[in-house]
Structures are given as C-alpha cells and as structure tokens.
Amino acid sequence: MAAGFTRPYVDALLSVAGSAAAVAALLPDLDTFARALGTAVDLREVLRNPAVDRATKAQLLATVLAKLGTGPLAARLLGVLLANRRLTHLSEVISAVRERLDREENVVEARVRSARPLENGEAETLRKALEGRTRRTVRLRPETEAGLLGGFVVRIGSEVYDVSLATRLQRVRTALHEGTQA
C-alpha cells in the first residue's frame, strides 16, 4: 500500500505522460536514479541537507540525471520531488506508480515461497492456475524458503494458499496431539 502523499504525484505523472505505457517507460529511469541515490551516500546527504540551497541541489540533480541519461519527463518528476522535499521518498513514489499501473492493467502480484526454486514449467502452470482463480493477470515473485520442506505458499494480497509440506506436517502433529489429549 502506497503512502498517501504519493497519489497527487502519480495522478500528475499519468496526466502529463498521457498513457500508462508512457509512464511504464519512465520506470527504468526512476529505478536507475533510485539505485544511485541508495548507493551514493554523499549524493543522498547533500540532497537531504537543509543547509544546501535549493538551486545548488537542483543543479546537482540535473548533472546526475544528465550523466545517467534520464529522460525529460522522469527528470521533471524528480525535480518536483526535490522541490517539494520528497526526493528521499522516491521508492514510495515508484511503488505507488507500479501499484497504479498494475491496477489499470488488471495485474496482481503473487508472492510464491517454495522449498526450492520453481522451474519454468512449474512457474507457468502455477501462474495460469492463479490467473484462472483470480481472473487477473498474475506476476509471480518467487522466493525460496528451505523451511517449507516441499510444496509452496502463495500470497496474493490478503489471500494465502498454503500447500507446503511443513504446514501439512504441522496439521498432522496437531491432530495427533489433540488425539492424545482426549
């Protein structure tokens, strides 16, 4: 769930860009700058520092964006975020943009935890089954968790589908434990 302050930025970006596809095309530039901001401690500190005047920060931002090859619309958004002292919250804005694009394109993200990495055929079969169940396009986000022992756990929003061996063993253990208590 995106922070509340992000909505006006996302709405304005969609309005200025003209289409969801145009906004999606900006995401690589925004991601590149976010990575640079995350790794360049000096850059982040200068842009955060209230003692550095806005004009200097804007010049620095323009220089960095030019070196990164950032497109003009992404650069404008980053400039607005800098002017409104929201540049340090860029990751939240990017998340909100992705959420909005997913909503408009009827895409849902499924977090899939499995005991071992899913093979392509398994992932595709699972994705199709989830799409049939949700009636939406599903983007899988696979993760490996050895503690599951086997099977997988899928989370789509607040829904959880747990067919892991660890959960099945826990149910058997609980049933056996309850049987000995009677």
Give the pLDDT confidence of 27-72 residue by residue, as tens digits.
999 999 999 999 999 999 999 999 999 999 999 999 999 999 999 9
Give the pLDDT confidence of 62-101 residue by residue, as tens digits.
999 999 999 999 999 999 999 999 998 999 999 999 999 9
Alpha carbon 48 to its chain's center = 24
Q: Which residues are CB-contacts of 124 (< 8 A; sequence separation ≥ 6)? A: none
In what helix (H) or strand (E) does residue 156 lie, and over which residues does it extend? strand 152-156
Please state whether 79 falls in left (phi above 0), alpha (psi between -120 and 50) or beta.
alpha
d(CA 135, CA 137): 7
- Give the CB-side neighbour count of residue 13, counting CA atoms within 13 A: 31
| Extents of the domains making up the chain | 4-102, 107-181
Give the 3-state secondary structure of residue 158. coil
170, pLDDT greater than 80: yes
pLDDT for the residue 89: 93
Give the pLDDT confidence of 110-130 residue by residue, as tens digits.
999 999 999 989 999 999 999
Domain 4-102 matches domain 107-181 at the CATH topology level? no
pLDDT for the residue 179: 72
pLDDT for the residue 139: 93
Rounded to a whole number of angstroms, the distance between the first and last alpha carbons of the chain is 45
- Does domain 4-102 correspond to CATH entry 2.60.120.10? no
- Does domain 107-181 correspond to CATH entry 3.40.30? yes
